[in-house]
Amino acid sequence: MPDNKAVVYQGPGKVEVQEVPYPGFELKDGPGVNPANVGRKVPHGAIIKAVATNICGSDQHMVRGRTTAPAGLTLGHEITGEVIETGPDVEFIKVGDLVSVPFNIACGRCRNCKEGKTGVCENVNPDRAGSAYGYVDMGGWVGGQAQYVLVPYADWNLLKFPDRDRAMEKILDLAMLSDIFPTGYHGCVSAGVTTGSTVYIAGAGPVGLAAGVSAFLLGAAVVIVGDLNKERLEQARSFGCETVDVSQGDPQDQIAQIVGEPEVDCGVDAVGFEARGHGAEAETERPATVLNSLMQLTRAGGALGIPGLYVTGDPGAADEAAKKGSLSIRLGLGWAKSHAFYTGQCPVMRYNRKLMMAILHDRVQIAKAVNATPIPLDRAPQGYEEFDRGAARKYVLDPHGLLAKAG
């Protein structure tokens, strides 16, 4: 069997590319693997040769030491690749298929999966509903920032691209289907974005930029993106977003200058639990800032889509409450304004086929919008460092040099 190199978390601030075991159709013991999953047979799985596997802001939280992730964890949950082997229970996915892998691992059999809530599958994580590849407390399924990765429940989970050659022409765009494009779209859908909406998106990282693209796709009249990072704000402007520099103060004043009033129809949180303050507090971590700000600036009767990550364990938090995921949220304000809140993992399968069609038929250029930047797998540590410094890019790892050939 082939060698397998992967990106492995070594501890706060450090990742390395190392040799790891080639995947088989059984979960083995290892860093982060739930003991109850050790020995689990996966005859319904497929081995994927990664064509593209992306660095995500959620990975960055772990690498910064802001979770309880153990050293030795293979990272990565954004996977696009070719099926090279299938288990004996796989009926419809075939060797040679080019596929997108939703970051949610879902069985397709439980109540939640049958209701389309694939982000909270009940059968893949023994500790609680919901799972993902290469992520802390998510069941221990091995990460996909690797040359080869196992995908369980292949017939259910994998989205096959209908034409391989056509897909390879747009492979950077299609690589965004595993997470950030559906996640940004989900944030907008759950915030109620529709024709003529005014939308404020907190965060101009890749998910925030994907949300901006999604808002336009859904028909928004005005899309405003707020951030502290000037390069990322410039990237948001590159495809038509208005921008707010929250280091200059409360975003409401700047929003009023754009739309004529200090509120919007829809709010999206694409920042999550490492939020910083606004204005004079822009360099200070204030984890509740974004949520409280969105309640202030979203109109009464509006909705907040919250795809930004919040965790139950954050050892690097500024206070004891935040270490347990408890934040000082102004729930009374949201209640008084009759806001709807929608949180949690995006159920990728609810959107990925539709968004694939939008890409294949030139309705959207998501890779350009998020500045997707391919790099070799061996440069992953550098990609993590640059992303952590605020690079206005979405780094896409190229484990086999196939992106370079496609480009």
Average pLDDT over residues 98-109: 97
pLDDT of residue 284: 81
φ/ψ of residue 302, rounded to 5: -85, -175
- What domains, with CATH codes, occur in the chain? 5-179+347-406 (3.90.180.10), 180-343 (3.40.50.720)
- Whose CA is closest to 66, among 317, 387, 318, 286? 317
Average pLDDT over residues 226-246: 97
| For helices 206-217 and 230-237, angle between their N-to-C axes, nearest 10 degrees | 20
pLDDT of residue 265: 98
Averaged confidence pLDDT in the chain: 94
Task: Answer whether residue 313 shows pLDDT above 70.
Answer: yes
* pLDDT grade for 319, boundaries at 50, 70 and 90: confident
Task: Answer whether residue 8 shows pLDDT above 90.
Answer: yes
Alpha carbon distance 18, 102 (integer Å): 24
Handedness of CA 209, 211, 212, 216 (dihedral sign): positive
pLDDT of residue 407: 63
Task: Answer whether residue 251 shows pLDDT above 70.
Answer: yes
Alpha helix positions (H), 241-379 = 251-259, 289-297, 320-323, 331-336, 352-360, 366-369
Give the three-state DSSP class for 41. strand
Alpha carbon distance 159, 141 (integer Å): 19
Average pLDDT over residues 105-109: 97
pLDDT of residue 322: 78
Average pLDDT over residues 352-370: 98
* pLDDT grade for 166, boundaries at 50, 70 and 90: very high
Alpha carbon distance 307, 186 (integer Å): 7
Task: Answer whether residue 205 shows pLDDT above 90.
Answer: yes
Alpha carbon distance 188, 211 (integer Å): 6
Alpha carbon distance 1, 84 (integer Å): 12
